[in-house]
Amino acid sequence: KAGVTQTPRYLIKTRGQQVTLSCSPISGHRSVSWYQQTPGQGLQFLFEYFSETQRNKGNFPGRFSGRQFSNSRSEMNVSTLELGDSALYLCASSFALVTDTQYFGPGTRLTVL
Partner 1 sequence: DAKTTQPTSMDCAEGRAANLPCNHSTISGNEYVYWYRQIHSQGPQYIIHGLKNNETNEMASLIITEDRKSSTLILPHATLRDTAVYYCIVRGAGGTSYGKLTFGQGTILTVHP
CA gap 38, 75 in Å, rounded: 20
Shortest CB 91 distance to partner 1, Å: 8
Q: How far apart are the first and last CA of the chain?
A: 37
Q: Which of 31, 68, 72, 74 binds partner 1 (CB under 8 A)?
A: 31
Q: Does 36 bind partner 1 (CB under 8 A)?
A: no
CA gap 42, 12 in Å, rounded: 21
Q: Which is nearer to partner 1, 13 or 95 (CB)?
A: 95
What letters, b where the CB count within 10 A reaches 16 and e where it falls short, cover 19-32? bebebbbbeebbbb
Q: Are 26 and 3 in contact (CB under 8 A)?
A: yes
Shortest CB 102 distance to partner 1, Å: 6
Shortest CB 4 distance to partner 1, Å: 7
Contacts to partner 1 by CB under 8 A = 4, 31-33, 35, 37, 42-45, 47-50, 55-56, 58, 88, 90, 92, 94, 98-99, 101-107, 109
